[in-house]
Amino acid sequence: ENLIEIAAVSRTYLDANENTVEALKGISLSIKKGEFLSIIGPSGCGKTTLLRLIAGLDAPESGKITLEGETITAPDPHRGYVFQQGSLFPWLTVEKNIAAGLKARGVYQKEKGEVAKYLALIGLEGFEKAYPHQISGGMAQRVAIARSLINRPAALLLDEPMGALDSFTRADLQDKLLELWQRDQTTMILVTHDVDEAVYLSDRIVIMTPRPGTISEILDIRLPRP
Ligand code: ADP
Ligand code: ADP
């Protein structure tokens, strides 16, 4: 069963000189439910553009993207999005940031219990009253992940969430992400330019080439899971 179908999707931008840049050209890709998919490729190949289209943060010019058969037209907490860094509300505590995920869905009941549960899942008990500037970058990314997961999204869309972290913190967050994926089997779509990271985490890797938007090859990597 495919969760997401990307069919012949194209997206162009105008650069500073008003020239058309083809960020994505005729991309097609199916993503299975529960899959941990990594999209890798060099800077500028269209990874972020593709992820933003799946998120509904941007719309394709042609082609179509569906989630469970429904065309994606707008952002929805059903597809949690985690940015590279700095997406927490700086004026809210860790627990309020996580609760903001629930509020986005209009759920107010049992909020406290859910927030505590997700705080524990990401290993940040004791930090509920801390503000984003009082925690490390790795901790902040875990909070961002919890804020998305609390909505139980059909897919978690991760745009280089570890890109700004040092290697020790990155290894830590990779293991946390694997643990969360194994626990809930949430479909994970990870954009990264770190090949090792993609191999370590994924079931499947999509490689995008330097030619904007052409997927050159799809490797199906089946990893034995511990
Ligand atoms: P990646 O995430 O792989 O680095 P992007 O999706 O960010 O690639 O960008 C793909 C191409 O589209 C690049 O050539 C980039 O310069 C261009 N691009 C992306 N977003 C914009 C934008 N908002 N305006 C103009 N050009 C853009
Ligand atoms: P991470 O825990 O995400 O890997 P670090 O490696 O920077 O991030 O932090 C290691 C540990 O140090 C954290 O798990 C936490 O226990 C503690 N720590 C980091 N920053 C702070 C802080 N601002 N206040 C209190 N403890 C902190």
Stated length of the chain: 226
Which ligand sits nearest to residue 14's alpha carbon?
1
The residue whose C-alpha atom lies closest to atom 15 belonging to ligand 1 is 44
Most distant CA pair in the chain: distance in Å?
52
Beta strands 79-82 and 155-159 are parallel
The residue whose C-alpha atom lies closest to atom 6 belonging to ligand 2 is 169
Which ligand sits nearest to residue 166's alpha carbon?
2
pLDDT score recorded for residue 87: 86
Q: How many angstroms separate the CA atoms of 158 and 145, rounded?
A: 9
Using one digit for the tens of pLDDT, what is the confidence trace for 23-81? 888 889 999 999 999 999 888 888 999 999 999 999 999 999 999 999 988 877 777 77
pLDDT score recorded for residue 212: 61
State in Å: Cα 69 to ligand 1 middle: 27
- Whether 222 shows a pLDDT value over 80: the answer reads no
State in Å: Cα 196 to ligand 1 middle: 24
Which ligand 2 atom sits nearest the alpha carbon of residue 124?
14
Neighbour count for residue 19 (Cβ, 10 Å): 9
Neighbour count for residue 67 (Cβ, 10 Å): 20
State in Å: Cα 49 to ligand 1 middle: 6
CB-based contacts of 187, cutoff 8 Å, min separation 6: 3, 4, 31, 32, 33, 34, 35, 36, 37, 154, 155, 156
Q: How many angstroms separate the CA atoms of 75 and 24, rounded?
A: 20
Whether residue 124 contacts residue 140, with contact meaning beta carbons closer than 8 Å, is answered with no
Least confident of 62-71, 98-107, 109-118: 98-107
pLDDT score recorded for residue 75: 79
Q: Which residues form ligand 2's pocket by a CB distance below 6 Å?
A: 134-136, 138-139, 169, 172
State in Å: Cα 124 to ligand 2 middle: 9
State in Å: Cα 82 to ligand 2 middle: 20
